[in-house]
Homo-oligomer: A and B are copies of this chain.
């Protein structure tokens, strides 16, 4: 086999030999599409050149024969008349390396051919512009003339003519420029630009092959893991021109609407234009309807091509085409980019139409995009400029009046105002304000900070860690860059992008995509991995169930300790008197019973895992620094600070150097047993009430921060005693599985021993990641995690996508050990990773039973679980 293959001789499978572009052109040619003819010089030739530093024997003869065939099939003459054949010479390796290698266009022109071209096109301006471009490109790429030498000529000329664009120069100017370019090439290289078109072609092919070895291509391959020795192909293809008169033009079209997914061809057409003009959007393009009016036949032909391509590639296609003197050419096609909405609609409708099967439809939608569907967003049509940018902590957009305290948020909300709560960072003290606000904006914090986690849980937009935002809480004002924000000023935040705007930006409502439910039903039919919700309130639980959650995998009871209840919690913590303490506990218990009843009712018939109190108690107290500052403020006012001093003493008592690793979770449950017992009593009381009300509650109790089997054994004993007591007193035989979080590395390491006591495991991958990495998420995201990601020290944020090599090994180990020791052990994950598609794939791979994630991620998880299932089935075959 030789080194040259016509497009008609290859097909899409021959990427090794023809490169990606060559194989694509061959495939389209094979489909009978009106692809401009041409041939590919194979990667074999490139490899030969690399090795021997000269063209393989017979190559140029084969190329000449290829040109001859091309002349024959196109009816044009290379370097001749009446219709001159111009060609492009493009690189194209097996793997896409966009922009890394070289291309020469309009090859085949010389002082004679340019006149023929002008005659045939009847357009001097067009002909000389083509020639000018060719000389410039060839001079640069093949002959190594610095670009700026050409640019200077054009700049002078534009100034002289008072025009801003090169194409506004007239034909004479372009001719003049071309002559100057030829002189520059000669002056710089000592050689004239070849007038022989065969020689031009050899030069261009050689340059394309050389460009495989240029520095940036080498760097690109190194970064992307592409082998250095595979070489590139060179594609020689007839040039067609959309700018050769009124019966020419160029366009881009999609086989379906890429924005809505509607099954209607959609596209842009520009008369008298080259492909770049459409892409650059310099002129306003017309629709395909306009094309139908201007060129009914080409339009009909294009529709037919679109139909064939979609059926051939089984996907919505994006097609570049050119009409040259009334003749339609197809230049390129690929899978079309589309919005999330369109992706869902296209996938479901194509499956319904029989173009793809349901499984393929499931794989066609990026699960991560589903979260957008339920959130309002800033109208992309609005041309707004953000005044600042922070971390996109909770998606969706919101606007309202800026307020700087939780109390003001509540007051304005009560007066039916929309508010955005702006704080340096939020704490449990701000919870009631967060409930009242439409969105949260903070200057501090990260994706794992209080503001972010709580806002995500509430499904409210939040932007945190906003650069340049300074918040003056006492003065009720803020600045961001040069912009001042006072209380009551309207601002808009976009938690999907992290942008902050002044004023109320127009929002568009969540999109209603009827096909989504169908797609998710198909996903449910495929997947075996369960999906539960992390939900703390009955409202959230109901929403989660609506979104398809099969129960609650994590109800964080501490979130029930916030808002106005903080006062009760403080009373319990600070009580010096046992009676006061007991009274507080009773009060809190009654509240918790109602909480749990609501959750169990919302998830009637489905499992509800309640996690006992997790954070350290001092999270419910003010900080010492705050107290000190408050005292500092009061003293000059001659106000009493005795109460504050007493509070400061208590706070000091509970303070910890590293609260993340302190007295929390089961440790608190063992050291202060009243709290946990109260919670268990409240949960069981709620179960009894639900049964009495005719419900079907499935309570499960989860113990957090367990590190040793003994901790779990003791808690399970306590819980078992309470279950027995409530079973007796209620007359119902209560069955309540007791399980443990696996969130400490040690828990994973002793999983076998824990499984002897646990009915279920739930990986708390947030904390497990923090401990395994020894990485405080808040501190790290604020300070150096972004740096690590930018510098490539970490490939992905381990708090977003589960770290397979480290944390993942523990998850895999603990799952295996746990299930071996206890065959009925149910194992799930309830960290934020439970809503991350890549992590869900890992969960499926290691054999977990379910993932649990926040309500807005339920649909994401359902789809991702189905994709993971399909992936694992594929791997099985």
Contact = CB atoms under 8 A, between A and B. Distances in A.
A454 interface: no
Given A744-B774, A746-B774, A749-B772, A779 B708 contact: no
A776 B624 CA distance: 20
A659 B658 contact: yes
Interface stretch (A276-284, A723-731, A786-794, A854-862): A786-794
Contacts of A750: 805-806
Interface stretch (A233-241, A578-586, A662-670, A678-686): A662-670
- Most B CB within 10 A of own CB, among A663, A753, A791: A663
Given A625-B625, A745-B745, A663 B779 contact: yes
Contact of A806 (B658, B743, B746): B746
A443 to B, nearest CB: 12
A120 B631 CA distance: 87
A445 B658 CA distance: 14
Nearest to A654: B783
Interface string A642-671: 000000000000001111111100010011
A468 to B, nearest CB: 15
Contact of A745 (B671, B771, B779, B784): B771
A767 interface: yes
Nearest to A628: B628
Given A671-B784, A771-B774, A660 B661 contact: yes
A708 B774 contact: no
Interface in A734-778: 743-746, 749-750, 753, 767, 770-776, 778
B659 A660 contact: no
A106 to B, nearest CB: 46
A648 to B, nearest CB: 10
A553 interface: no
Contacts of A176: none
Contact of A661 (B658, B744, B792): B658
Interface string A542-577: 000000000000000000000000000000000000
Given A746-B772, A774-B771, A779 B631 contact: no
A807 B784 CA distance: 28
A412 to B, nearest CB: 30
- Most B CB within 10 A of own CB, among A745, A753, A771, A787: A745
Contacts of A770: 661
Given A632-B631, A779-B658, A805 B749 contact: yes
Given A658-B661, A714-B793, A779-B661, A743 B774 contact: yes
A711 interface: yes
A810 B625 CA distance: 39
A707 interface: yes
Contacts of A791: 670
A111 interface: no
A783 B616 CA distance: 12
A780 interface: yes
A661 B776 contact: yes
Contacts of A640: none
Interface string A700-733: 0000010110110010000000000000000000
A657 B449 CA distance: 11
A216 interface: no
A792 to B, nearest CB: 8
A657 B743 contact: no
A629 interface: yes
A572 to B, nearest CB: 17
A809 interface: yes
A794 B705 contact: no
A776 B662 contact: yes
Given A661-B775, A779-B662, A793 B708 contact: yes
Contacts of A810: 745, 749
A844 to B, nearest CB: 21
Contacts of A788: 667, 670
Contacts of A708: 793-794, 806
Contacts of A780: 661-663
Nearest to A632: B632
Contacts of A711: 793
A783 B746 contact: no
A721 B258 CA distance: 52
A657 B657 contact: no
Contacts of A803: 746
Contacts of A744: 772-774
Contact of A660 (B705, B743, B774, B805): B774
A805 B805 CA distance: 22
A628 B629 CA distance: 7
A629 B659 CA distance: 23
A834 B714 CA distance: 32
A661 B776 CA distance: 5
Nearest to A793: B710
Given A625-B624, A711-B793, A783-B663, A657 B776 contact: yes
Contacts of A779: 656-659, 661-663
Given A670-B791, A746-B774, A660 B663 contact: no
Contact of A793 (B670, B745, B773): B670
Contacts of A658: 658-661, 776, 778-779
Nearest to A745: B745
A4 B69 CA distance: 117
Contact of A787 (B657, B671, B775, B806): B671
Contacts of A749: 772, 805-806, 809-810
The 4 closest A-B pairs by CB, nearest first: A658-B776, A746-B806, A661-B776, A745-B745
Interface of A: 624-625, 628-629, 631-632, 635-636, 656-663, 667, 670-671, 705, 707-708, 710-711, 714, 743-746, 749-750, 753, 767, 770-776, 778-780, 783-784, 787-788, 791-794, 803, 805-807, 809-810
Given A660-B776, A705-B774, A743-B774, 4 more contacts: A625-B628, A670-B784, A745-B771, A746-B806
27 contacts: A628-B632, A656-B779, A657-B660, A657-B776, A657-B778, A657-B779, A658-B778, A659-B776, A660-B661, A660-B774, A661-B775, A661-B779, A662-B776, A662-B780, A662-B783, A663-B779, A667-B788, A670-B788, A670-B791, A705-B774, A710-B792, A745-B774, A745-B810, A746-B807, A749-B809, A750-B806, A771-B771
